[in-house]
Amino acid sequence: MQTANIQTIATQPFDDQRPGTSGLRKKVDIFQQPHYLENFVQAIFDTQPELAGGLLILGGDGRFHNDVAIATILRMAAANGVARVMVGQHGYLSTPAVSHLIRKYHAQGGIILSASHNPGGPQGDFGIKFNIANGGPAPETVTEAIYTATRSITRYRRLSDAAPPIDQCGAFQLGGMRVEIIDPVADYAELMTRLFDFDAMREWIASGHQLRFDAMHAITGPYARHLFVDLLGTPEEWILNATPLPDFGGGHPDPNLKHAAKLVNLTKGDQGVDFAAASDGDGDRNMILGRDCFVTPSDSLAILTANAALAPGYREGARGVARSMPTSQAVDRVAERLGIPHYETPTGWKYFGNLLDAGLITFCGEESFGTGSDHVREKDGLWAVLFWLNLLAASGNSVADLLKAHWREYGRNYYTRHDYEGIDSELAGQLMEDLRARLGQLPGQRFDERTVRWADDFAYTDPVDASRSTHQGLRIGFDDGARIVLRLSGTGTQGATLRLYLEKLETNPDEVTRDTQEVMQPLIQIADQLAEIRSRTGRQAPDVIT
């Protein structure tokens, strides 16, 4: 390694660099502070010695500050002995694409620059996370080591040479390090063609079916153009908001019914499109829509598991499935029918990694619009969209017909999530603590026509390595199988987001097509009675309902 151009820069620790469930996320102006990004990146290199002499994958979702951060990280990687970096052209790489590249090229890790579904722009959010050699998010042992290193850091290293532009594919030397600028889409698209029946999907489109995909001016635009326009033959105009923009066009790159309302409107009525979908800032989330219908992420996981054999990459079906604890139990019912194991994990994709690596599961998902499989170690938005399109083409059914058929066969887990955003963190924490303290008193108490059967603070023991995770969300179960869950989200950058999850199983085939919010009204009232959400927060309604 060349050393003549390596600078050692004195620095001091910041006290707010503990990574959350998806890395370190802060406002852009915090990351723009001198030494802030550098301290965190140096902590990665200091705690991950395998990167020295190894291969690093680097990319992000194109949000504001992405280009500056990539140039900084390239200079630091060269100074810290990384032998080779693969970086997406323009700095673009979706989160699932990074996971795939790590696995395909046997990299020692990857750095992803994104705040996922959070807003971008100069006043928006920025984020950074490290993925380990299996392609998945760093587990707590790694993130805690990184955080510990940030608390005592005194210096970081960087190359004095500036990083050249990365707007053209090719290769160059930066100090003693080789930098390869790659097509961000090619490897990922090749993987998708091996998993799904592109011939059947082309025929479905050619037969007159209409679809729309909303990239939300985020990372999946280039991916969607290639997959849908180049490979499936859709008109270019079917890909909405396809150009990545640093501020996501002023929008909120979160694929839900509120932030993708224009897409939802395209599915309404007799003239509505047959299929519509959206993905988020870094490409790992998805929203699935049919004509006049919305597929909850919980139902999506269950339906894909039940119909796995319709996709070429999953002809043998699923070995097992896993869901995050707040996700509805719909997939559990499918797994029990299929005779395969199912697992309930804390929220955070990293908890699926051990199960996937051990070969215990094929599919996994979270209610927060994340679905995935053993093809990568991240949730994957476009993978889920293609799987649904493959399912439509192979079955000949509409989205609505597939939903109704599934509910009639397995029952319907009516399910909704209510988000109360930007709540004072201390107030939200006290609300949770007060309810946690009362959990032991709840069993046996009656609320309207329901009686609490059990209540707990969810804890998880990993079946692979026996690691233990506690305080993962408050669960209250009733005698009719209904369930209330409360937890604080770790993905925001301002205040706290209180998430309330409500679930009710309906097995009467004549009662499975009712309006979800109407069905949930009794549970909503019980939840407010238990947690005192309105009286404590002053909020009369949630900010987002999904």
Torsion of CA 83, 85, 493, 297, to 10 degrees: -120
SS3 category, 309: helix
Which residues have a catalytic role annotated?
116
Residue 166 near residue 24, CB atoms below 8 Å: no
CA–CA dist 447, 123 (Å, integer): 45
DSSP 439: G
Question: Two tokens at 16?
Answer: 């707010």
CA–CA dist 332, 216 (Å, integer): 32
Which residue, chain included where needed, has tokens 């080789």? 178
SS3 category, 118: coil
Which residue, chain included where needed, has tokens 């066969």? 409
Residue 274 near residue 250, CB atoms below 8 Å: no
Residue 461 near residue 536, CB atoms below 8 Å: no
> Residues with Cβ < 8 Å from 513, sequence gap 6 or more?
404, 407
Q: Which residue, 65, 443, 149, 96, is CA-closest to 279?
A: 96
CA angle 411, 417, 419 (to 5 degrees): 180
